[in-house]
């Protein structure tokens, strides 16, 4: 299991490198924001640990905070990215079309 997971880890790393190394400068800020939203996947850790065990008050409090944090990361991350990108798409370019 560990070895399989490590193999997945390494392959995911290569995929990340390949996918991202071709992004134009222009999109770096949205990209940073978008990848930031994706690591909100940590919320799964909070859900699994709280859902499957989560005994004791302190543990529960810590996990609720963790889920709150994870949710902020996910929801805020995707929304902010969308707002940034919304500005790029806001202008269809008739002028440019005509020129081409």
User: Binders of other proteins among 57-96, rule CB under 8 A?
Assistant: 58-60, 62-91, 93, 95-96
- Is there binding between residue 100 and other proteins (CB under 8 A)? no
- Is there binding between residue 1 and other proteins (CB under 8 A)? yes
Residues 19-58 interacting with other proteins (rule: CB under 8 A): 19-56, 58
Scanning 1-100, the segments in alpha helix (DSSP H) are 2-20, 28-38, 43-52, 57-71, 77-89, 94-99
Burial of 66 (0-12, 13-18, 19+ CB in 10 A): middle
- Is there binding between residue 98 and other proteins (CB under 8 A)? no
Cβ at position 3, least distance to other proteins in Å: 10
């Amino acid at each position: 299991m560990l070895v399989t997971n490590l193999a997945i880890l390494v392959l995911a790393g290569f995929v990340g490198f390949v996918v991202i190394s071709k992004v134009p400068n222009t999109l770096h800020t949205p990209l940073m924001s978008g990848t930031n939203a994706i690591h909100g996947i940590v919320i799964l850790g909070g859900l699994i640990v709280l859902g499957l065990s989560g005994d004791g008050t302190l543990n529960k409090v810590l996990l609720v905070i963790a889920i709150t944090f994870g949710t902020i990361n996910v929801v805020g991350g995707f929304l902010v990215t969308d707002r940034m990108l919304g500005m790029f798409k806001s202008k269809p370019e008739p002028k440019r079309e005509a020129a081409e």
